[in-house]
Amino acid sequence: MSTSTAAQRREQAKVAYDAYLANCPVRRVLDRVSDKWVILLLNALADGPRRYAELRRIVAGVSEKMLTQTLRSLERDGLVTRTVTASVPARVDYALTDLGMSLLPVMRALKAWAEAHIAEIDAARADYDRAQP
Amino acid sequence: MSTSTAAQRREQAKVAYDAYLANCPVRRVLDRVSDKWVILLLNALADGPRRYAELRRIVAGVSEKMLTQTLRSLERDGLVTRTVTASVPARVDYALTDLGMSLLPVMRALKAWAEAHIAEIDAARADYDRAQP
DNA sequence: CAGTATCCCTCATGATACTG
DNA sequence: CAGTATCATGAGGGATACTG
């Protein structure tokens, strides 16, 4: 008898790789940054603090649920701060931390690549779709 | 009567923003790059062409479905080439295109930021979770 | 103003089995 | 060897209504 079946070996590899994926810094940062609303929010906060309602307006189309949820996870990861001013009505300001700001240049590099090459991607895609309809 | 209800205005904003999101180069590139297996595949191809079975082994834990699907979409976007050699058994090689290679420096920049700051993120997360259990 | 709470539905991923 | 086909599931995201 063999020590393990192919299925068991695949299962092993999968478990090991899931663990690797979960710990891989690049993937973890990518997961954070590639959330649908994160880039938009970082962008909206790039010029200074914003209030909740401002963000909802600037990042049009975001639901309150996702806005709150995304801001909370960014706060949890130390990328933004949340400052509550006790007044009537309540006032909450969100701002980038130093860590959050340090991410901006990376995002700008990505933006530069994106804008420089998106046309090539579109062209390649059009070619591909023309060849295999 | 008003020209539009709040719900209608929100719907308008949502439609407009969905269109913006769909066209935004940064988001489109991010969507491509943040696919679960894309970074790993680009990495696996960084040193030269690889065969299907090699990729399946290097990127352990990937299902055949996702491997094929991801490679196809990368090919469609002009980031990798797929070369079939008619022989028995069949042989297929995947390689990065120039466009694909031009993405590597950007990924390295992201990797550098991730490795430099992941500890801060973890620390912030631990703090946050300690404060609000 | 700044959120919570709830329901619901779609889509991405994965497991499994089959094929040229 | 290099895939395709089919089915299942679970998390992400949105619509809606309510609250301190």
Q: Which residues touch strand D (CB under 7 A)?
A: A 35-36, 62-66, 89-90; B 7, 11, 14, 51-54, 64-65, 68, 71-72, 82, 89-92
| Contacting residues for A43 by C-beta, under 8 A, at least 6 apart | A107
- Can you give the distance from the CA of residue A104 to the C1' of nucleotide D5 in angstroms? 44
pLDDT for A107 beyond 90: yes
- Can you give the distance from the CA of residue B124 to the C1' of nucleotide C7 in angstroms? 33
Q: What backbone torsions phi and psi does residue A114 show, to the nearest 5 degrees? A: -60, -50
pLDDT score, position B3 = 56
Q: Report, as an integer, the average pLDDT of B64-77.
A: 97
Residue recorded with tokens 């209800």: B5
| Mean pLDDT value across chain A | 91
CA gap A47, A58 in Å, rounded: 12
Pull the structure tokens for residue A62. 């975001």
Residue recorded with tokens 């309809």: A133
CB contact B118 to A (< 8 Å): yes
Q: Which residues touch strand C (CB under 7 A)?
A: A 7, 14, 51-54, 64-65, 68, 71-72, 82, 89-92; B 35-37, 62-66, 89-90
Indicate the pLDDT class of residue A75, thresholds 50, 70 and 90.
very high
Chain A residues inside the 8 Å CB shell of B34 = 30-31, 33-34
Asked if A95 contacts A80 with a C-beta cutoff of 8 angstroms, the reply is: yes
Residue of A110, A129, A132 best to disrupt the B interface, most CBs of B under 10 A = A110
Residue B90: other Cβ atoms inside 10 A: 9
Q: Report, as an integer, the average pLDDT of A51-59.
A: 95
Output A131 or B110, whichever has higher pLDDT: B110
Nearest Cα residue to B82 out of B41, B111, B52, B58: B52
Q: How far is B69 from chain A (nearest CA, A)?
A: 15
- Can you give the distance from the CA of residue B1 to the C1' of nucleotide C19 in angstroms? 64
The model's pTM is 0.91
Q: What is the DSSP letter of B47?
A: T
pLDDT for B6 beyond 80: no
B113: left (phi over 0), alpha (psi -120 to 50) or beta: alpha
Strands in B80-85's sheet, in edge-to-edge order, are B50-51, B91-96, B80-85
pLDDT for B115 beyond 90: yes
Residue of B66, B113, B115, B129 best to disrupt the A interface, most CBs of A under 10 A = B113
pLDDT digits (tens, 9 = 90+) for B73-85: 999 999 999 999 9
pLDDT score, position A22 = 87
Q: What is the DSSP letter of B89?
A: S
Q: Report, as an integer, the average pLDDT of A18-46.
A: 93
pLDDT for A89 beyond 80: yes
